[in-house]
Structure 1
């Protein structure tokens, strides 16, 4: 594996020379840190990271290698990845390529031999910030000039980039460790009820969990026609709508918010995760706000007020719903790190949502019962 020189410049003035791997060129995005200790391929291929550089707290990355079955989407949409030490070998019998090969194939900029601990502390103290990484430019002045002219992440609709181009039926369920593949489901099974999943940047393992809960999942592009979905619901062709995770600032997605407002009026059962959770809040008239550095990682404790239990969760978000949401919804979950809202059940409506990722890929599985909850609601409507 041959490394090359690469220069990093952060918007508050820090310039760093590091080593690069994967693709060469220039990339601009928002830097955030992730505290997960495993599952780097699932994290990198999560579409919610579109427009962002991922700074891994875990110092050693690459030893597990990569394979197509662990992809969370059709490609990696992140702007780049910063790691401390890059493994020169892959040591896992499921691996088909190393991280360098994976990055080159996905045209993704990799950055290593950099003090990630220092960068994480910088982001912790100053908040998520824009940065530029380049193998083509070296001087502070040139990097600063290009970065200043670039659009901020909250000015770009990354949902349009990551959403599926063609609607499809998802027919895979839980991963089978006997043959290391995903089990297929019978989409013609009359006992399975159909839902629509709005793809704002959906992860494959969310779809797997929905099908595992007994649902047939039709995935549609983010620019859907809400009136068509209402007609299908009234005809009992579908029993509910799932709003997926995804990238970017939810307040920038005014077109998507308007569509969800139409759906809310009809009281169609809906379940939202992450960006879907935020869009539902905005559609109900309660604007989201940006956290200082967000929540990105595994093993985040969340209090579930519905049964008074503690759930260890996976997180990936920069934005949050406001406390005023309690005017129209009951707060069902809170983050025990910062006490922010992690879940709500809307009053007098079959709509609920969570900020964390109950599909747990990577991460724990305590919150996966939410998919079963949604399936029971859908079944009762058909």
Structure 2
């Protein structure tokens, strides 16, 4: 391993640590969370829902297959940094374009290694998700504490403005081909869905196309009145509310837009942040979990009593009182929290987990086909 510069970490519970830097340099403030996935470090790092956060990997060896542009879940990764036990400078994969360290530097993401990640995970399980600061330029504990104390907290920042597309575009790619090692254009798409981009993952777009939707991706500042008119004119047939970062309770403008879409009786499907915003729009505010659900091995029981192994990435959850207006379709078997809802009024349902992520099993992905079947063409 080449000689690495020191980097200094300070957490809001007073923990102060020195580690090594293998990514970009500078000072960044964010929220520390941990992820229990054994693989998929590039997909996790490039997930827009991690904007404003430092991701601690519980898997100790990270970087062994390098990185490539194809595996990115977004066009521009936005997490603050990643924290790993051992960062592998030497990688081995026929698909790799560059090492993880170079990838992080290219996207201005801090890389932190040579640190006991097991202890950090145990700390977060005890104290919950913590605000933290990491710096390659500031080494003094009190200076780091002062800067962290004066910075905005993640729950005060509207990160969807940062991660959402700036302009609308169409997406018609699906059906991965190992011959071309790319997703292929799909013909015969019979229904059009407007996907509101709060930080949408590319594989969600692929899954929507796979089941038959032509996808029109809209930025987070979309005009809901235009969207409602397009629905009435049959230019679109449904709306998808994507995943995204941050606290949904501060997104009051988005909640108002969704209320208008609900009043227009548009079929709506939401994932993760979209799931949470639908709950708030129905009058049921979300709450923050102690340390969230972040990993690719979370068992969820669906409405048929079957267990699905799911990928998850969220810090917030909908309340039990939502059962007054919706049927619970999925529950997390780790803590019994709500993972899926079908609302009693309208053609509206949502899930908290990520059915597009394919953590190994793919049984959760059938929810896309279910929604497509429920959306009328005329």
CA distance in 1, matches of 2:59, 2:77: 19
Instruction: Find runs of 4+ consecutive structure 1 residues off by over 6 angstroms.
Output: none
Q: How does 1:117-266 map to 2 (within 5 A)?
A: 117-186=118-187, 189=188, 191-266=189-264
Q: Helix, strand or coil for the counterpart of 1:65? A: coil
Q: Deviation at 1:361? A: 4.9
Instruction: Report what 1:105 is aligned to.
Output: 106
CA distance in 1, matches of 2:157, 2:176: 34
CA distance in 2, matches of 1:350, 1:2: 57
Tell me how large the CA RMSD over aligned residues is: 1.0
Q: Deviation at 1:174? A: 2.9
Q: Deviation at 1:348? A: 2.5
CA distance in 1, matches of 2:186, 2:309: 29
State which drifts further: 222-231 or 154-163. 222-231
TM-score computed with the length of structure 1 as normaliser = 0.97
Q: Helix, strand or coil for the counterpart of 2:22? A: strand
Question: Which structure 1 residue ranges, 5 or more long, are not aligned?
Answer: none
Instruction: Report what 1:22 is aligned to.
Output: 23
Correspondent of 1:356 among 345, 353, 356: 353
Cα displacement string for residues 149-203 of structure 1 (whole angstroms, at most 9, x for unaligned residues): 00000000000000001100012113222332111223xx3x5211100000000
**Number of residues of Structure 1 aligned to a counterpart in Structure 2:** 377
Q: Helix, strand or coil for the counterpart of 1:93? A: coil
CA distance in 1, matches of 2:25, 2:176: 34
Q: Deviation at 1:270? A: 0.3
CA distance in 1, matches of 2:170, 2:117: 40
Question: Which structure 2 residue ranges, 5 or more long, are not aligned?
Answer: none
CA distance in 2, matches of 1:108, 1:88: 16
Cα displacement string for residues 64-83 of structure 1 (whole angstroms, at most 9, x for unaligned residues): 11001101111110000000
Q: Helix, strand or coil for the counterpart of 1:33? A: strand
Instruction: Report what 1:340 is aligned to.
Output: 337
CA distance in 2, matches of 1:2, 1:108: 19
CA distance in 2, matches of 1:64, 1:171: 29
CA distance in 2, matches of 1:129, 1:165: 31
Q: Deviation at 1:48? A: 0.1
**2:243–2:271 Cα contact (<8 Å) kept:** yes
Instruction: Report what 2:367 is aligned to.
Output: 370
**1:230–1:266 Cα contact (<8 Å) kept:** yes
1:72 equivalent in alignment to 2:73: yes
Q: How does 1:284-363 map to 2 (within 5 A)?
A: 284-305=282-303, 307-363=304-360
**2:310–2:359 Cα contact (<8 Å) kept:** no
Q: Deviation at 1:362? A: 4.5
